[in-house]
Amino acid sequence: MQAMKGMFAIFAVLISVQVNSCDKPVHATYGPFFSVSFYQEFLSDFHSNIEKLTGCKVVMKIEPTHKKFILALVQGDAHMSFVPEFYYAALKPYGLLAVFESKTEFRNILIVNRGERDNFDVNQLSGKTILVSGTYSRGYIMLNEWLKETGLAHKVLIDAGHRHDVIAMMLAKNKGSAGVISTAIFDRLPDNLKDNYTVLKKSQPLKSLLLVSEQAPNGARAAVEGSLLNMNFGKWGAVTNDRQYPHRSEHFKRQLKSLMEPL
Protein backbone atom coordinates (compact mmCIF):
# COMPACT_ATOMS: atom_id res chain seq x y z
CA MET A 1 0.00 0.00 0.00
CA GLN A 2 2.82 2.38 0.90
CA ALA A 3 4.55 1.61 -2.39
CA MET A 4 1.32 2.30 -4.28
CA LYS A 5 0.92 5.65 -2.53
CA GLY A 6 4.47 6.49 -3.52
CA MET A 7 3.72 5.67 -7.15
CA PHE A 8 0.60 7.86 -7.09
CA ALA A 9 2.65 10.71 -5.61
CA ILE A 10 5.27 10.41 -8.36
CA PHE A 11 2.52 10.21 -10.99
CA ALA A 12 0.90 13.37 -9.60
CA VAL A 13 4.21 15.22 -9.73
CA LEU A 14 4.81 14.14 -13.33
CA ILE A 15 1.35 15.33 -14.34
CA SER A 16 1.94 18.65 -12.60
CA VAL A 17 5.26 19.16 -14.37
CA GLN A 18 3.70 18.27 -17.72
CA VAL A 19 0.83 20.71 -17.21
CA ASN A 20 3.11 23.56 -16.14
CA SER A 21 5.98 22.83 -18.52
CA CYS A 22 6.51 24.81 -21.69
CA ASP A 23 7.96 23.61 -24.96
CA LYS A 24 9.56 26.98 -25.81
CA PRO A 25 10.09 30.40 -24.25
CA VAL A 26 7.99 33.46 -25.03
CA HIS A 27 10.12 35.93 -26.97
CA ALA A 28 9.26 39.48 -25.92
CA THR A 29 11.03 41.47 -28.61
CA TYR A 30 11.05 45.25 -28.57
CA GLY A 31 12.35 47.97 -30.82
CA PRO A 32 15.33 50.23 -30.15
CA PHE A 33 13.06 52.97 -28.84
CA PHE A 34 14.17 52.91 -25.19
CA SER A 35 16.94 51.47 -23.03
CA VAL A 36 16.90 47.97 -21.58
CA SER A 37 16.52 49.44 -18.08
CA PHE A 38 13.49 51.44 -19.22
CA TYR A 39 11.76 48.32 -20.56
CA GLN A 40 12.66 46.33 -17.45
CA GLU A 41 11.28 49.01 -15.14
CA PHE A 42 7.90 49.10 -16.81
CA LEU A 43 7.49 45.52 -18.03
CA SER A 44 9.15 43.22 -15.47
CA ASP A 45 5.91 42.55 -13.55
CA PHE A 46 4.07 42.06 -16.85
CA HIS A 47 6.61 39.48 -17.98
CA SER A 48 6.62 37.73 -14.60
CA ASN A 49 2.86 37.28 -14.64
CA ILE A 50 2.95 35.83 -18.16
CA GLU A 51 5.55 33.33 -16.95
CA LYS A 52 3.31 32.43 -14.01
CA LEU A 53 0.25 31.89 -16.21
CA THR A 54 1.97 29.94 -19.00
CA GLY A 55 4.85 28.17 -17.30
CA CYS A 56 6.97 29.58 -20.13
CA LYS A 57 10.03 31.71 -19.54
CA VAL A 58 9.75 35.18 -21.05
CA VAL A 59 12.96 36.14 -22.84
CA MET A 60 13.23 39.88 -23.47
CA LYS A 61 15.31 41.13 -26.38
CA ILE A 62 15.83 44.70 -27.55
CA GLU A 63 16.73 44.70 -31.22
CA PRO A 64 19.59 47.14 -31.96
CA THR A 65 18.05 48.63 -35.13
CA HIS A 66 14.58 49.26 -36.50
CA LYS A 67 15.38 47.05 -39.49
CA LYS A 68 16.24 44.05 -37.30
CA PHE A 69 13.18 44.74 -35.15
CA ILE A 70 10.83 44.71 -38.13
CA LEU A 71 12.42 41.57 -39.57
CA ALA A 72 12.02 39.81 -36.20
CA LEU A 73 8.31 40.61 -36.34
CA VAL A 74 7.69 39.38 -39.87
CA GLN A 75 9.89 36.28 -39.52
CA GLY A 76 8.06 35.06 -36.42
CA ASP A 77 11.00 35.57 -34.06
CA ALA A 78 9.01 38.02 -31.91
CA HIS A 79 6.13 36.41 -30.02
CA MET A 80 4.93 39.69 -28.56
CA SER A 81 5.86 43.32 -28.99
CA PHE A 82 4.73 46.93 -29.13
CA VAL A 83 4.58 48.72 -32.47
CA PRO A 84 3.41 52.07 -33.81
CA GLU A 85 -0.21 51.79 -34.90
CA PHE A 86 0.60 52.58 -38.52
CA TYR A 87 2.79 49.45 -38.76
CA TYR A 88 -0.15 47.13 -38.20
CA ALA A 89 -1.79 46.99 -41.64
CA ALA A 90 1.51 45.81 -43.14
CA LEU A 91 2.36 43.39 -40.31
CA LYS A 92 -1.02 41.71 -39.85
CA PRO A 93 -0.58 39.31 -42.81
CA TYR A 94 2.47 37.86 -41.03
CA GLY A 95 0.35 36.31 -38.28
CA LEU A 96 0.50 39.20 -35.82
CA LEU A 97 -2.63 40.10 -33.88
CA ALA A 98 -3.24 43.38 -32.04
CA VAL A 99 -4.64 42.53 -28.59
CA PHE A 100 -4.45 45.96 -26.91
CA GLU A 101 -3.90 49.58 -27.87
CA SER A 102 -2.39 52.40 -25.83
CA LYS A 103 -4.70 54.91 -24.18
CA THR A 104 -2.00 57.17 -22.68
CA GLU A 105 -1.36 60.22 -24.84
CA PHE A 106 2.36 59.92 -25.49
CA ARG A 107 3.62 62.26 -28.20
CA ASN A 108 6.80 62.91 -30.16
CA ILE A 109 8.29 66.35 -29.72
CA LEU A 110 11.01 68.21 -31.57
CA ILE A 111 13.12 70.03 -29.02
CA VAL A 112 15.99 72.44 -29.39
CA ASN A 113 18.59 73.44 -26.83
CA ARG A 114 17.47 76.73 -25.29
CA GLY A 115 20.98 78.01 -25.94
CA GLU A 116 20.16 77.72 -29.64
CA ARG A 117 16.89 79.58 -29.09
CA ASP A 118 18.09 83.17 -28.56
CA ASN A 119 16.38 85.28 -31.25
CA PHE A 120 15.51 81.94 -32.79
CA ASP A 121 13.68 81.16 -35.99
CA VAL A 122 13.62 77.77 -37.65
CA ASN A 123 16.07 78.82 -40.35
CA GLN A 124 18.77 78.88 -37.69
CA LEU A 125 18.69 75.09 -37.86
CA SER A 126 20.00 75.20 -41.43
CA GLY A 127 23.26 73.26 -41.54
CA LYS A 128 22.74 71.92 -38.01
CA THR A 129 22.32 68.32 -36.83
CA ILE A 130 18.96 66.98 -35.66
CA LEU A 131 18.93 63.71 -33.73
CA VAL A 132 16.16 61.20 -34.30
CA SER A 133 15.42 57.50 -33.98
CA GLY A 134 15.49 55.08 -36.94
CA THR A 135 14.26 55.74 -40.47
CA TYR A 136 11.19 53.52 -39.88
CA SER A 137 10.15 55.46 -36.78
CA ARG A 138 7.33 57.91 -36.16
CA GLY A 139 9.83 60.54 -35.09
CA TYR A 140 11.76 60.30 -38.35
CA ILE A 141 8.58 60.67 -40.39
CA MET A 142 7.36 63.60 -38.27
CA LEU A 143 10.70 65.35 -38.61
CA ASN A 144 10.77 65.04 -42.40
CA GLU A 145 7.19 66.31 -42.67
CA TRP A 146 8.11 69.29 -40.49
CA LEU A 147 11.25 70.02 -42.51
CA LYS A 148 9.18 70.15 -45.70
CA GLU A 149 6.63 72.46 -44.05
CA THR A 150 9.36 74.87 -42.92
CA GLY A 151 11.42 74.72 -46.11
CA LEU A 152 14.34 73.07 -44.33
CA ALA A 153 14.31 69.80 -46.25
CA HIS A 154 17.87 68.95 -47.36
CA LYS A 155 19.18 71.89 -45.34
CA VAL A 156 19.84 70.04 -42.08
CA LEU A 157 21.80 66.94 -41.14
CA ILE A 158 19.61 64.13 -39.81
CA ASP A 159 21.47 61.84 -37.43
CA ALA A 160 19.19 58.79 -37.20
CA GLY A 161 19.39 55.61 -35.17
CA HIS A 162 19.30 56.77 -31.53
CA ARG A 163 17.09 55.73 -28.63
CA HIS A 164 14.91 58.46 -27.16
CA ASP A 165 16.82 58.51 -23.87
CA VAL A 166 20.14 58.70 -25.74
CA ILE A 167 18.89 61.71 -27.72
CA ALA A 168 18.07 63.51 -24.48
CA MET A 169 21.56 62.79 -23.10
CA MET A 170 23.30 63.82 -26.33
CA LEU A 171 21.45 67.14 -26.42
CA ALA A 172 22.36 67.71 -22.79
CA LYS A 173 26.01 67.32 -23.84
CA ASN A 174 25.51 69.66 -26.85
CA LYS A 175 26.06 66.80 -29.31
CA GLY A 176 23.35 68.10 -31.61
CA SER A 177 21.23 71.21 -31.97
CA ALA A 178 17.82 69.56 -31.84
CA GLY A 179 16.19 66.16 -31.54
CA VAL A 180 12.90 64.29 -31.71
CA ILE A 181 12.06 62.37 -28.54
CA SER A 182 9.01 60.78 -26.95
CA THR A 183 7.22 62.49 -24.07
CA ALA A 184 7.55 59.08 -22.35
CA ILE A 185 11.19 60.10 -21.85
CA PHE A 186 10.95 63.90 -21.82
CA ASP A 187 8.31 64.00 -19.09
CA ARG A 188 10.57 61.89 -16.84
CA LEU A 189 13.44 64.39 -17.01
CA PRO A 190 14.08 66.62 -13.99
CA ASP A 191 12.48 70.05 -14.36
CA ASN A 192 15.86 71.81 -14.30
CA LEU A 193 16.93 69.70 -17.30
CA LYS A 194 13.65 70.13 -19.19
CA ASP A 195 14.02 73.89 -18.77
CA ASN A 196 17.09 73.73 -21.02
CA TYR A 197 14.92 72.88 -24.03
CA THR A 198 12.25 74.55 -26.10
CA VAL A 199 9.60 72.51 -27.92
CA LEU A 200 9.43 73.46 -31.60
CA LYS A 201 6.96 70.81 -32.75
CA LYS A 202 4.57 68.44 -31.00
CA SER A 203 2.81 65.51 -32.66
CA GLN A 204 -0.75 64.46 -32.15
CA PRO A 205 -1.22 61.75 -29.49
CA LEU A 206 0.44 58.57 -30.74
CA LYS A 207 -1.17 55.17 -30.62
CA SER A 208 0.79 51.97 -30.08
CA LEU A 209 -0.44 48.39 -30.38
CA LEU A 210 0.50 45.35 -28.33
CA LEU A 211 0.90 42.44 -30.75
CA VAL A 212 0.99 38.70 -30.16
CA SER A 213 2.25 36.33 -32.87
CA GLU A 214 0.56 33.11 -33.93
CA GLN A 215 4.05 31.61 -33.47
CA ALA A 216 3.85 32.22 -29.72
CA PRO A 217 3.54 29.23 -27.34
CA ASN A 218 0.06 27.94 -26.58
CA GLY A 219 -1.71 30.09 -24.06
CA ALA A 220 0.58 33.09 -24.56
CA ARG A 221 -2.14 35.34 -25.93
CA ALA A 222 -4.50 34.56 -23.06
CA ALA A 223 -1.65 35.14 -20.60
CA VAL A 224 -0.83 38.51 -22.18
CA GLU A 225 -4.49 39.51 -21.91
CA GLY A 226 -4.58 38.30 -18.31
CA SER A 227 -1.44 40.24 -17.38
CA LEU A 228 -2.51 43.69 -18.57
CA LEU A 229 -2.92 45.04 -15.04
CA ASN A 230 0.68 44.04 -14.31
CA MET A 231 2.02 46.32 -17.02
CA ASN A 232 3.27 49.70 -15.85
CA PHE A 233 3.76 51.31 -19.25
CA GLY A 234 0.86 53.72 -19.54
CA LYS A 235 -2.80 52.79 -19.92
CA TRP A 236 -3.99 50.15 -22.39
CA GLY A 237 -7.39 48.98 -23.55
CA ALA A 238 -9.43 47.40 -26.30
CA VAL A 239 -8.31 47.82 -29.91
CA THR A 240 -10.52 50.21 -31.87
CA ASN A 241 -10.89 50.90 -35.57
CA ASP A 242 -9.76 54.48 -35.09
CA ARG A 243 -6.61 54.81 -37.19
CA GLN A 244 -4.13 57.68 -37.10
CA TYR A 245 -2.03 58.92 -39.99
CA PRO A 246 -3.40 56.58 -42.71
CA HIS A 247 -0.85 57.96 -45.18
CA ARG A 248 1.89 56.67 -42.90
CA SER A 249 0.37 53.18 -43.06
CA GLU A 250 0.71 53.21 -46.82
CA HIS A 251 4.24 54.57 -46.56
CA PHE A 252 5.24 51.79 -44.17
CA LYS A 253 3.75 49.15 -46.48
CA ARG A 254 6.10 50.38 -49.19
CA GLN A 255 9.03 50.42 -46.76
CA LEU A 256 8.31 46.86 -45.65
CA LYS A 257 7.98 45.64 -49.25
CA SER A 258 11.36 47.19 -50.06
CA LEU A 259 12.87 45.69 -46.92
CA MET A 260 11.61 42.18 -47.77
CA GLU A 261 12.59 42.13 -51.45
CA PRO A 262 16.28 41.24 -50.91
CA LEU A 263 15.35 38.28 -48.64
pTM: 0.85
Domain end, chosen from 182, 202, 222, is at 202
Domain end, chosen from 202, 222, 245, is at 202
111 phi-psi bin (left φ>0, alpha ψ -120 to 50, beta other)? beta
Q: Which pLDDT tens digit goes with each residue over 171-180?
A: 988 888 899 9
pLDDT value for 118: 56
Judge if 198 and 246 occupy the same domain: no
Helices (H), 76-216: 88-91, 138-150, 164-172, 183-186, 191-194
Domain extent at residue 256: 2-104+207-260
Number of folded domains that form the chain: 2
Judge if 145 and 186 occupy the same domain: yes
Cβ atoms within 10 Å of 107's Cβ, excluding its own: 19
pLDDT value for 193: 86
Q: Which pLDDT tens digit goes with each residue over 87-106?
A: 999 999 999 999 999 999 89
CATH value at residue 165: 3.40.190.10
* C-alpha closest to that of 137 among 37, 39, 34, 33: 33
Judge if 211 and 99 occupy the same domain: yes
% of the chain with per-residue pLDDT over 70? 89
Judge if 234 and 193 occupy the same domain: no
**Rounded Cα distance, 106 and 207, in Å:** 8
For the chain, the average pLDDT equals 88
Judge if 56 and 80 occupy the same domain: yes
